[in-house]
Amino acid sequence: MSKVSEIMSPNPQVIGPEDTLQRAARMMQELDVGALPVCNGRQVLGMITDRDIAIRGVAAGLKPDTACVSDIMTRDIKYASESQDSDEVMRMMGDAQIRRLPVMNERKELVGIVSLGDLATRQNHHTDDALRDISEPQRKAA
């Protein structure tokens, strides 16, 4: 059984909360990623995805060259601990229907990102159930 620290992408690039949506999109393009942790130093304040920029930003009428990342980022984020086992993290991702998680150390500092792709390519276990759970249509509250 793999630990998250063995399969995560270490030292992820981050963006600041006052950076513009345009800067976030350019960083994602340059890094070929779909999400960035939003940080103040090593403290994670939230996450922003390419989908956030498109839906919460541009579609809502915000101007990418002036709107801030903090205007649309997800603040209440799930995260993994670097010591968690990969099966537990896969279940957590499936339950929350998310494809990427920041990875924190014991001091709650960002040390990496783990994605469904990392789990699929860097471990021996199957990711079928997690992919099915993540891809299932959003469950609506009654």
Query: Could you list the mean pLDDT of each consecutive 10-residue stretch along the chain, which spans 142 residues?
Result: 89 96 98 95 93 96 97 95 91 88 94 88 56 55 46
Break the chain into its structural domains and give their ranges: 4-135
Question: What are phi and psi for residue 62, nearest 5 degrees?
Answer: -75, 150
Residue 96's pLDDT is what?
A: 87
Contact 27, 136 (CB under 8 A): no
| Chain mean position to CA 18 | 18
**pLDDT the model gives residue 13:** 95
Q: State residue 90's pLDDT score.
A: 87
Instruction: Give the 3-state secondary structure of residue 21.
Output: helix
Residue type, 70: S
**Domain 4-135 of CATH type 3.40.50.150:** no
At 69 the pLDDT is 98
Q: Tell me, what's the pLDDT at 87?
A: 86
